[in-house]
Chain A
Amino acid sequence: GAGVSQSPSNKVTEKGKDVELRCDPISGHTALYWYRQSLGQGLEFLIYFQGNSAPDKSGLPSDRFSAERTGGSVSTLTIQRTQQEDSAVYLCASSPSGLGNTIYFGEGSWLTVV
Chain B
Amino acid sequence: AQSVTQLGSHVSVSEGALVLLRCNYSSSVPPYLFWYVQYPNQGLQLLLKYTTGATLVKGINGFEAEFKKSETSFHLTKPSAHMSDAAEYFCAVSVIYNQGGKLIFGQGTELSVKP
- What residues of chain A have their CB less than 8 Å away from a CB belonging to chain B? 4, 30-31, 33, 42-43, 45, 48, 50, 55-56, 91, 93, 95, 97-108
Residues of B with C-beta under 8 A to A97? 99-100
**Apart from the given pairs A33-B103, A55-B97, A105-B44, 7 other A-B contacts in the complex at a CB distance below 8 Å:** A42-B105, A43-B90, A43-B105, A48-B98, A101-B101, A102-B34, A103-B46
**Residue from B90, B98, B106 having most chain A Cβ neighbours under 10 A:** B98
Docked pose: A56 CA to B32 CA in angstroms: 19
Given A42-B107, A50-B99: A107 in contact with B42 (beta carbons within 8 A): yes
Docked pose: A103 CA to B51 CA in angstroms: 13
Residues of B with C-beta under 8 A to A103? 34, 46, 103
Given A50-B99, A91-B44: A100 in contact with B106 (beta carbons within 8 A): no
User: Does the CB pair B90–A55 fall under 8 Å?
Assistant: no
User: Smallest CB-CB separation from B101: which chain A residue?
Assistant: A99
- What residues of chain B have their CB less than 8 Å away from a CB belonging to chain A? 32, 34, 36, 42-46, 49, 51-52, 90, 94, 96-108
User: Smallest CB-CB separation from B42: which chain A residue?
Assistant: A107
Docked pose: A107 CA to B90 CA in angstroms: 16
Docked pose: A105 CA to B42 CA in angstroms: 10
Docked pose: A41 CA to B107 CA in angstroms: 7
Docked pose: A104 CA to B32 CA in angstroms: 15
Residues of A with C-beta under 8 A to B96? 99
User: Smallest CB-CB separation from A53: which chain B residue?
Assistant: B98
Partner of A45, one of B36, B49, B100, B104: B104
User: Does the CB pair B102–A33 fall under 8 Å?
Assistant: yes
Residues of A with C-beta under 8 A to B44? 43, 91, 93, 105
**Residue from B34, B43, B105, B106 having most chain A Cβ neighbours under 10 A:** B43
Docked pose: A30 CA to B51 CA in angstroms: 20
Residues of B with C-beta under 8 A to A108? 43
Docked pose: A102 CA to B105 CA in angstroms: 14
Residues of B with C-beta under 8 A to A93? 44
